[in-house]
Amino acid sequence: MFLLPSLALLVGIGLAPFFYVLILSFHRYRLTWSDRPWEFVGLDNYRYVMNWERFWDAAWNTIVFAVGTTLLSFAVGFALALFLSQRFRGRGILRALVIIPLLIPPVSVGLMWRFILHPLLGLVPWIIKSVTGVTVSFFETPAMAMFSLILIDAWEWFPFMFLVLLAGLESLPREPYEAAYVDGANRYQIFRHITLPLMRPVIAVAVLLKFLISLKVYDIIYTVTTGGPGTATETLSYLIYRQTFAYFWVDRGSAMALVYEYLIILFAVLFVKYALVKARAG
Amino acid sequence: MNTKVVVPTVVAIIVIVAAVLLLTRGGEQAPTTIRLYMEDMVETAYLEKLLPEFEQQTGIKVVIEKASYEVMREKLISVFKSSEGYYDVIIVDNPWVAEFAEAGWLVPLDDFLAENPQLNVDDYLTSLWWTVGKYWKDGKVYMLPWYNYALALMYRTDLVNTPPRDWAEFYSLAKQLTDPQKDFYGVAAQARRGYKVVEEGLNYVYGFGGRVFDASLRPVINSSQAVEALFLYGRVVFETAPPGAINWEFDEAFQAAQSGKAAMMITYNWMIGALNNPEQSQTAGKWMVAPVPGGYAVLGAWGWAIPHNAPNKEAAFKFLAWVASPETEKKLALMGHAPVRKSTFLDPEVNQKYPYMKTLLEVVDNSLPIVPPVTVGEQIVHILGQYFSESLLHVKDFEEGKISEAEAKALIKQELDKAAQEIYELMKTEGYYEQQVQLPPPWGPG
């Protein structure tokens, strides 16, 4: 009985829009149609999406992006967490400084980096040029543009990884370390055989969360490359956004959003099943 | 105190206070207020300076809500779809007008124009009038031109003696001026996917004699002229523009030009003002404007419109009568506004302040709208944007020696074939090929 209000809220907020999108995806409807009724078209929208090369290109781009930024932000975040979990003076200030990128709105991050990486006026190309004499253009080729986006996104998100992993490190039990120390294990051995196994569940959660967040990337793509050059950096959420809110084709957009959602759920389930369960067991 | 006294007292106080509030509000009569929705642009700032004049004349208060271009379309649709309107006057970009008009979201302005002959629609430049003015399908007027953004060539007078007249000449001049060792380039290009690459690349296509549509609305963007044009455009971007220009927006290109890193730029004709303004430009005083090489320029334009659900239509019409009048336009033009009326372009006072006004008239007169007024204008621009961008990548491969010139052109042709095919299917689903349609000038035969 006491659950009813919250259940109603859950249905209202979570499930109602989902079913709306589901129903919409079986119809033909545009936002510009004022009084034309929805026309039932069965699986037409899905057929279109499944056969649309560009959708699968975008799906591939999304995965490349998500894997790249997850690995990079994990590597940087974990290294920093290990470093800043040690005791030394100024640790508090450094920890606070590391968080800063996470506090900047993604749109600002995108715009900021677009100018930092500007080949003529940007700071990074200028430094590279004065050291090596080579002019680097960060968005010129498809591969380079994707790499730059991963770099920007990882910059924004490594503090997230850092926070989660630091919290994990701080909550580790002290006893195994003391025992290892007494046994004369070196730093690498302690890391390899104590820290890493103990941290595995935390790492799995952090990586899963970041990966799922990255699959939904939109703001950085929008502000930095708008999916270009060509369609090299077009991700699924950007493609769906264009269909739905720039072209007002909400029917096709809904079908795409649902396919996309199933893909994400699939990833999450696979991940939980293999990585997380394995991490727990190990 | 007992409750028998307290409750009636409290109720009485509430009733009295409410009555007093209601009465005084009614007696004061708040001034009529209209809401405008506009892009956050220098043009909007000029208008704001002039608003007190309108507010004094009519007693109508004007509130402007400013937004960035990217969010305007989404915001407008949410307002159009709501049962209660919010904005009284809006500005609409020309690729959207047919779509909005056919959805029934804009108020036809024909009666209003008949009542206000002083607005003299014949005074609008023809190219602009067909872009945002009269809608060819029903012959009604849904928007009044506000300002134009026809593309033009900006060049440094200290480096370029006579502006190039065709694209081949433009390319060789740009190449000559480029010196990467000194960080100096011929052209500050903006080839970013989306609107930018179309606004720039389509000038090349027009200059080579190519078009997006023929007079019966069939896509012809896969013509050999367009292939040649985009190939040359790619060479300009990769050989004479700063590295990275393939991802540049207006901001980046403008920064490169104003900071003295480029000799030429293809941009909106009225940017000549900003390039020569010492507050915005380190190279102020060195810039001049000319029509784009090849003659025909890409034209975009904003127009004034009234949403179907405007809460205060009467005041909105009053505002429209004021803002679209030749007198107001002249005052705005003297501040730097990009005119839409012949009389303003030719006005002696305006010409005295801006000696290049006649060149700008030539630019806008010889311009062809970025898309015809069809209901899928926005999609067409983005289809072109995508395939233009893909085409440039093939030129990049040519520049790096990976493919030959002939191979690059064949690949560009394939991209443009895809663009034409997508546009064709889009137009077909919109019903444009079910009957014989004929575009009005400037697209079709006069």
Tokens of A122: 């940007």
Interface test with B, best of A31, A120, A140, A152 (most B CBs within 10 A): A120
All residues of chain B having their beta carbon less than 8 Å from the beta carbon of residue A135 are 180, 243
Residues B273 and B351 in one domain: no
Of A120, A225, A247, the CB nearest to B242: A120
Cβ distance of A118 and B255 shorter than 8 Å:
yes
Domain boundary among B369, B393, B410: B369
List CB contacts (< 8 A) between B71 and chain A: none
Interchain pair A231, B390: CB under 8 A: yes
> Same domain, yes or no, for B137 and B155?
no
Query: Are B80 and B196 found together in one domain?
Result: no
Q: Are residues B269 and B222 in the same domain?
A: yes
CA-nearest residue of chain A to B415? A230
> Chain B closest CA to A79's CA: distance in Å?
32
Question: Which residues of chain A have a CB within 8 Å of the CB of B392?
Answer: 229-230
> Which residue among A120, A137, A145 sits closest to B261, beta carbon to beta carbon?
A120
d(CA B355, CA B366) in angstroms, rounded, equals 19
How many domains does one find in chain B?
2
What SS3 string covers B87-154? Answer: CCEEEEEHHHHHHHHHCCCECCCHHHHHHCHHHCHHHECHHHHHHHHECCCCCCECCEEEEECCEEEE
pLDDT (tens, 9 = 90+) of chain B, 446 residues, equals 556 666 667 677 777 766 666 655 544 556 789 999 999 888 899 999 999 999 999 999 999 999 888 788 888 988 898 888 899 999 999 999 999 999 899 999 999 999 999 999 999 998 888 887 888 888 899 999 999 999 999 999 999 999 999 999 999 999 999 999 898 999 999 999 889 999 999 999 999 999 999 988 999 999 999 999 999 999 999 999 998 899 888 888 999 999 999 999 999 998 998 999 999 999 999 999 999 998 889 999 999 999 999 999 999 999 999 999 999 999 999 998 999 999 999 999 999 999 999 999 999 999 999 999 899 999 999 999 999 999 999 999 999 999 999 999 999 999 999 999 999 999 998 889 998 888 877 776 65
Give the range of the structural domain holding residue B388, as residue numbers without chain letter.
151-298+374-429
Residues B93 and B142 in one domain: yes
* B220 shares its domain with B259: yes
Query: What does the alpha-carbon distance between residue A249 and residue A279 come to, in Å, rounded to a whole number?
Result: 43
Specify whether B121 is located in the same domain as B222.
Answer: no
pLDDT at B216: 87
Task: Indicate yes or no: CB of A142 within 8 angstroms of CB of B393.
Answer: yes
Residues B415 and B321 grouped into a single domain = no
CATH code, domain with B215 = 3.40.190.10
User: How far, in Å, CA of B337 to CA of B270, rounded?
Assistant: 8
Question: Could you tell me if B174 and B263 lie in one domain?
Answer: yes
- Render pLDDT for A259-275 as a digit per residue (tens, 0 to 9): 998 888 888 888 888 77
Show residues of chain A in contact with B426, CB under 8 Å.
Answer: none
What is the rounded CA–CA span in Å between residue A152 and residue A148? 6
* Alpha carbon distance A218, A216 (integer Å): 6
Size of interface A-B (CB pairs under 8 A): 91
Q: What is the pLDDT of residues A47-93, one digit of tens each?
A: 988 888 889 999 999 999 999 999 999 999 999 999 998 888 888 89
Question: Tell me, what's the pLDDT at B151?
Answer: 95
- Co-location of B228 and B240 in the same domain: yes
Contacts of B242 in chain A (CB under 8 A): 119-120
A34 → chain B, closest CA residue:
B103
Distances from the Cα of B305 to the Cαs of B126, B155, B211, B308, in angstroms? 19, 35, 29, 9
- Within-domain flag for B2: no
Using a CB-CB cut-off of 8 Å, the residues of chain A touching B81 are 31
> Residue B154 in contact with residue B287, Cβ under 8 Å?
yes
The Cα B333–Cα A60 span in angstroms is 50
Residues B386 and B348 in one domain: no
Residue A89, pLDDT score: 86
pLDDT at A246: 78
Residues of B in contact with A245 (CB under 8 A): 73-74
Which residues does chain A have within 8 Å of residue B376's beta carbon, measured at their own beta carbons?
247
CA angle B363, B369, B373 (to 5 degrees): 155
* Contacts with A31 (C-beta within 8 Å, 6 or more apart), sequence order: A248, A250, B77, B81
Task: Choose among B77, B193, B382: nearest Cβ to A229.
Answer: B193
* Distance, first Cα to last Cα, chain B: 89
- Best mutation target among A32, A57, A134 (most B Cβ atoms within 10 Å) is A32
pLDDT at B223: 97
Would you say residue B282 lies in a domain? yes
**Residues of B in Cβ contact (< 8 Å) with A140:** 243-244, 246-247, 396
Q: Which among B100, B104, B247 has the least Cβ separation from residue A145?
A: B247
- Closest-CA residue of chain A to B100: A32
* B15: in domain: no
Give A67-97 as a DSSP string: HHHHHHHHHHHHHHHHHHTS--TTHHHHHHH
Residue type, B21: L
pLDDT at A280: 65
> pLDDT: is B304 or A276 the higher one?
B304
How far is Cα B31 from Cα B10, in angstroms, rounded to an integer? 34
In sequence order, the β-bridge partners of residue B61 are: B33
Helix or strand (DSSP H, E) at B287: strand B287-290
B238 lies in some domain: yes
Interface contact A137-B256, CB threshold 8 A: no
Which tokens in the block code for residue B205?
Answer: 């296509």
B247 and A142: CB-CB below 8 Å?
no
CB within 8 Å: A118 and B252: yes
Q: Which pLDDT score is estimated for B48?
A: 94
> Can you list the domains of chain A with their CATH numbers?
44-281 (1.10.3720.10)
- CA distances from residue B158 to A86, A95, B164 in whole angstroms, order as listed: 61, 53, 15
Q: Would B106 be classed as within a structural domain?
A: yes
Say if the Cβ atoms of A137 and B180 lie within 8 Å: no
Residue B27 covered by a domain: no
CA–CA dist A71, A77 (Å, integer): 10
Nearest CA in chain B to A36: B103
- Same domain, residue pair B338 and B382: no
Name every chain B residue with its beta carbon within 8 A of the beta carbon of A247. 376, 378-379, 382
Residue range A3-41, pLDDT digits in tens: 888 888 888 888 888 888 888 889 888 887 766 778 888
How many CB atoms neighbour CB B138 within 10 A? 12
Q: Does residue B188 lie within any of the structural domains?
A: yes
pLDDT at B114: 95
**C-beta separation of B229 from B220 below 8 A:** no
Query: Is the residue at B442 inside a domain?
Result: no
